A and B are shown apart, each in its own frame.
Chain A
Amino acid sequence: MIKLHFSTNLPELSRYFQIALFLLLFVMFSIMGDNAFGAGQISAPSKPAVTDLTIEQLMTIEVATVYSASKFEQKITQAPASVSIVTESDIKQYGYRTLADILRSMPGFYTSYDRTYTYAGIRGFSRPGDYNTRLLLLVDGHRINDSIYDQASIGTEFILDVALIDRVELVRGPGSSLYGNNAFFGVINVITKQPQSFNGFEVSGSAGSFDTYKERATYGKKYANGFEMLLSGTNSNSKGQSLYFKEFNTPANNNGRADSCDYEKYNNLFANMKYRDFSLQGAYTSREKGIPTAYLGTVFNENRTRATDERGYIDLKYNKALSENTHIKARGFYDYYNYSGNFLFDYPPLTMNKDVATGKWWGGEFQLTQNLFEKHKVVMGMEYQDYFLQKQRNYDENPYIQYFTETKSSYTWAAHIQDQFSILDNLILNAGIRYDYYKTFGGSTNPRAALIYTPFEKTTIKLLYGQAFRAPNAFESYYNDGNVTQKANPNLTPEKIETYELVLEQYVKNYRFSASGYYYRVKDLINLYTDPADSLLVFRNIGKTESKGAQLKIEGKWSNGIEAKASYSIQETIDKETGRSMTNSPKHLAKLNIFSPLISKKLSTGLELQYTSSRRTFNGDSTGGFVIANLTLLSREVIKDLEVSGTIYNLFNKKYGDPVSNEFRQNIIVQDGRTFRIKFTYRF
């Protein structure tokens, strides 16, 4: 067997990346040359210095731009859902590397990893092999789920470097009444940092276990004329580890060891610009991941089997307060997604099978927020998306055989309205409805209603009802292998969910306490099914599940700088077809995070403990429960403007694994033991 080293395939990628970075730097310096070091920063001679003006004069001057305080930000207690937030400081304090690390720290959230993609679990629902299609992922309001698989990428394939995140909000429950498709079990809202929070350059480098290196350069600035700009580029490279899979323990398979197959390489580019009421944002990522698991029956211990994902977008927003009571928001965007999977099979002979998908789409959105009669706040919106290219293809390279090719296009439009009605001073009714039209299956209407009652200043009770849908994606509707084992089903209809939830939030001095209980009913789930007529696999709307659960959380902050939060979730999701609990659905989840300063604020430590109870695998085995501990040491300002952090992940080297889909010979894929990362960040 001829083994190609993986890097032989990389020059092509890295060349583009280098050109892109070069252009980025060119733009950066041309702007700075004109502005930061030029006349832009210094007041024009015609304008008096602010120090020459009296306070009375200052009071009469109108500002050119208003940045702060004008934006409507909803208080967490008023949100019509159960919400968790992780901020930038948590990301530093606990050494989070990916969006998945961030989400896993939130109550009731768990993840699994099949060593290619990271899968989200929420409210006891995470079907192995499902690419997070039932969660909507937004970056500054821009939809990240792609147009082929609907994938919400949360691992290293996520579009942003986590260092650019200001905060992540997880809004649990159905959000289709506002956001439409995919907002099924929840919405993950990632909000990026303001350009001015960098105020200059920041460079960062990290090194970790298995030759994992990552470098980042960021420039962010708010100029005196109100123009804001953030530019950032990240590059990461990991050799990965040598993995042992007992299912392949034969001499022909290198005794079950997959060497140099777990490699990973990715880069991210991000740019954000704001001027007055406009903002322009662009993001791009490309990731190549070796598949070390002999997924789909590919050749074991073979590093040519790999997956490459690319995702990019440009988004232009206009945000304007027409008056104190009227806000408008308009957006236009262009999106790109490309996937390419290389799978080496031994038919025989050894043959490279390629699975390729490309999605391109553009769209626009208009939203109006209007306050009426002091008691109503109405949000109305319209949206249009044109998925002008949805292309999928599967073929063998040599000899060339094409099994499947399909080029489709599609469009959707939607209209929604929501009203926040303050019935009494302490009672709010939040109700909304949205209609989505799909070229493929027609329409879907989804309502939501929430009663938010604040009987005492520090107590909030929320009663929530909602419906949501998930549209069948291009993969489920059209994918087939030429009717050898799988056929297409273009007549799929949306999956539907109906939910009830009760939330209690209570503040006591420096503690915050919250409890919630919920009941979810899902129907028309799209399952892979074997048609008895022709024995072919086909997707059908046949699944039904029922979930109930409860969640408790307590958070405390003390004046000596110590912060702690703890949560516990109990959940049960029943598959109504089999009457059993679902696969990859832990009954109990518990989390504990403690952060403490050690030497003033110069040295601090963050400890994280996460318990996941046993999960059932597809063949009925169980993974067993486990506790993972992560420990971070963070040092700031020991040397001016330098931040150093070190994290040990899985401190006690706990052996554990995650359930995976039946496309693997393994039921359970073993996860990382003890690993470390050290990271340096310098500002100037």
Chain B
Amino acid sequence: MRNPSYFRFIIIFLSAITVFATSFTHGEELEFSEYELKAGFIYNIAKFVEWPDKKTADTKKIINLYVLGSDPFGRILDQITGKKVKGKILEVKHIRSPKDLRDCHMLFISSSEREKLPDILESLKDSNILTIGDTNGYGQQGVIINFYMEQKKVRFEVNTNIAKRAKLSISSQLLKLAKIIHSE
């Protein structure tokens, strides 16, 4: 045997992983994770937004939520998929590029798309899509709803100019809970 020490190294390494992994994946979940809460927010926000008639006519019974980029929610969005929002069913779809968004109502833009954001928003200029993000600076750049954390609680900012440009009407009930920002 050439050098048994590296075999020992692997054994130590894997045992450490096993101990670390098993001790943390077990246990009760009594709290909500950040993204569970954000999923709850997205579901609730959908109730407070009115899309232009043309858009809702296209997709009578469905509200489509698209996720662009690497998905931070994991399976959490399953919890809101298929739920009813004002009589319509919420559907979730993952996409890798902002093409073919005709029937999209809400678009969650992952922080992985940070560098491409200006291009993405440019391509959405004339659409009626409620853009959603959770990355520092997205709001100022023109994402309509942007989540941020404040003392471990989820907060959100609303870019009202862009919402107006997208012909979306956002209920004042929602706006009073938000930090209002403007861009341009």
Contacts and interface: CB of A to CB of B under 8 A. Distances in A.
A601 interface: yes
Interface stretch (A42-50, A120-128, A429-437, A438-446): A42-50
A59 B79 contact: no
Contacts of B115: 87
Given A55-B177, A58-B41, A68-B134, A41 B1 contact: no
A273 B10 contact: no
Interface residues of B, number: 69
Interface in B25-69: 25-34, 36-37, 39-41, 43-45, 48
7 contacts: A12-B1, A16-B6, A58-B40, A62-B152, A224-B33, A273-B20, A338-B3
Interface stretch (A24-32, A258-266, A470-478, A657-665): A24-32
Given A50-B39, A51-B40, A280 B16 contact: yes
Nearest to A64: B31
Nearest to B44: A55
Interface in A468-509: none
A559 B99 CA distance: 12
A40 B13 contact: no
Interface of A: 12, 16, 19-20, 23-24, 27, 30-31, 34-35, 40-41, 43-44, 46-47, 49-51, 53-56, 58-70, 87, 194, 196-197, 199, 221-227, 229, 269, 271, 273, 275, 280, 282, 284, 286, 310, 312, 314, 336, 338, 340, 358, 360, 510, 557, 559, 561, 600-601, 636-637
A601 B96 contact: yes
A199 B72 CA distance: 8
B138 to A, nearest CB: 10
Contact of B17 (A44, A87, A280, A286): A280
Contacts of B27: 225
A180 B153 CA distance: 39
Contacts of A199: 70-71, 74
B37 A44 contact: no
State the 10 A-B residue pairs at the shortest beta-carbon distance, nearest first.
A50-B40, A601-B97, A64-B31, A55-B44, A197-B70, A62-B152, A63-B34, A275-B24, A35-B25, A282-B13
A291 B165 CA distance: 65
B43 A229 contact: no
Contact of B74 (A16, A87, A196): A196
Given A58-B37, A338-B6, A69 B135 contact: yes
B43 A63 contact: no
A156 B111 CA distance: 31
Contact of B32 (A50, A66, A69): A50
Interface of B: 1-3, 5-7, 9-14, 16-18, 20-22, 24-34, 36-37, 39-41, 43-45, 48, 70-72, 74-76, 79-80, 83, 96-97, 99, 111-112, 115, 118-119, 122-123, 134-136, 148-149, 151-155, 174, 177
A199 B77 CA distance: 13
A63 B112 contact: no
Nearest to B20: A280
A87 B174 CA distance: 37
Contact of B41 (A27, A55, A284): A55
A227 B25 contact: yes
A54 B135 CA distance: 23
A196 B72 contact: yes
Given A63-B154, A271-B17, A600 B6 contact: no
A222 B154 contact: no
A40 B36 CA distance: 13
Contacts of B153: 59-63
A100 B155 CA distance: 43
B6 A224 contact: no
Nearest to B19: A280
Nearest to B76: A224
Nearest to B26: A34
A69 B136 contact: yes
Nearest to A231: B17
A53 B72 contact: no
A338 B5 contact: yes
Contacts of B26: 34
Contacts of A510: 118
A69 B30 CA distance: 24
Given A197-B112, A282-B17, A58 B154 contact: yes
A50 B37 contact: yes
Given A63-B154, A312-B13, A601-B97, 19 more contacts: A19-B7, A27-B21, A43-B29, A51-B79, A58-B40, A58-B44, A59-B153, A60-B153, A68-B135, A69-B148, A223-B25, A225-B33, A280-B16, A282-B13, A284-B9, A284-B10, A561-B119, A636-B96, A637-B96
